[in-house]
Structure 1
Amino acid sequence: MLKVILIVLLVFILVGGAAFAGYFVASKNTPKQIIEVEASGQLKTEAYYDLDEFLVNLSDEGKARYLKIKISLGYDEENSKLLPEIEKRKAAIRDSITNTLRTKKTTDLGTVDGETKLKEELIQRIDELLTQGQLHNIYFSEILIQ
């Protein structure tokens, strides 16, 4: 009887481990993920495109300061032409973001208001590069200032 209980317990552990591993692998970030966003009283679908990590020097004088940040671009999922354009212009978008980040100081990024202004500036600069649509938002998932 003890052997049967141990075998059943071992099977449950193996099945649980396999299910966890499958979920973990399946939930890895893909370039395009979909979330629901409420805008102007309507619920609409927003997708976002994960850009690679950025590591730039900040323009602080005196001591060298660095910014490490991960950025995602939020756009309307229903605009099927925008994702291919973002992927096509990824190098230009990254260059525009890098150039913008290099002009910032730690005091510009240390507050919520500063981050909001940075998001607005980045959206404006990236929208200038896009012809098939516009971004809804920019998301910062990792921010490290050193």
Structure 2
Amino acid sequence: MAENKGISKLMIIIIVLLTLLIGVGGFLGYMYIKNQPSAPKPKTEKTMAMDEFIVNLADQDMRVYIKAKIYLAYTDTKIETEIKEKMPQIRDIVITTIRNKKSSDFDGKKLENIRKEITNKINSTLMTGQITNVYFYDIIIQ
């Protein structure tokens, strides 16, 4: 019987120690996770529509027109006022850029290059922020 008392006291001590160890481990894990820097939330992209464009293209053998609806994308709302104020300059950038393209430039991957070119040119005129992309909503080439 004395042996059973020794074993039961030892079991109680082991259980108490395991409980304390699990509790301390859980607390330390919680503190570690709590103090980790949270990943920045992705910014929501907003868009602003531009008026529709009808522009002659640079095809040499025939008259070719493009009709396009374009949206400017941005994530910083501070830029909205500046975009509205500079819309005449922005439209001029877009028209001038598109006018120098041929109808074949609007195929597949080449369209991505036009987007980047327009985005870079517009961003060079903006002071309070940058647009993130130019989206062609509608394109008709005739």
**TM-score calculated relative to the size of structure 1:** 0.68
**TM-score calculated relative to the size of structure 2:** 0.70
CA distance in structure 2 between the aligned counterparts of 1:114 and 1:56, rounded to whole angstroms = 18
Partner of 2:69: 70
| C-alpha RMSD over aligned residues | 1.3
Partner of 1:103: 100
The one-letter code of the counterpart of 2:46 is: A
- How far apart are 1:112 and its partner, in Å? 1.6
User: Stretches of 4+ moved more than 4 A in 1?
Assistant: none
Give the gaps of 5 or more residues in structure 2.
1-39
Q: Which has the larger radius of gyration?
A: 2
CA distance in structure 1 between the aligned counterparts of 2:74 and 2:55, rounded to whole angstroms = 25
CA distance in structure 1 between the aligned counterparts of 2:101 and 2:120, rounded to whole angstroms = 16
Structure number with greater CO (CA < 8 Å, separation at least 6) is 2
User: CA offsets per residue over residues 44-70 of structure 1, 9 Å max, x none?
Assistant: 211110000000000000110000000
Q: Does 1:132 find its partner at 2:128?
A: yes
Percent identical across equivalent pairs? 37
CA distance in structure 2 between the aligned counterparts of 1:85 and 1:44, rounded to whole angstroms = 19
Partner of 2:82: 85
Partner of 2:56: 57
More strand by share: 1
More helix by share: 2
* 1:144 alignment partner, SS class: strand
Give the gaps of 5 or more residues in structure 1.
1-40
The one-letter code of the counterpart of 2:69 is: K
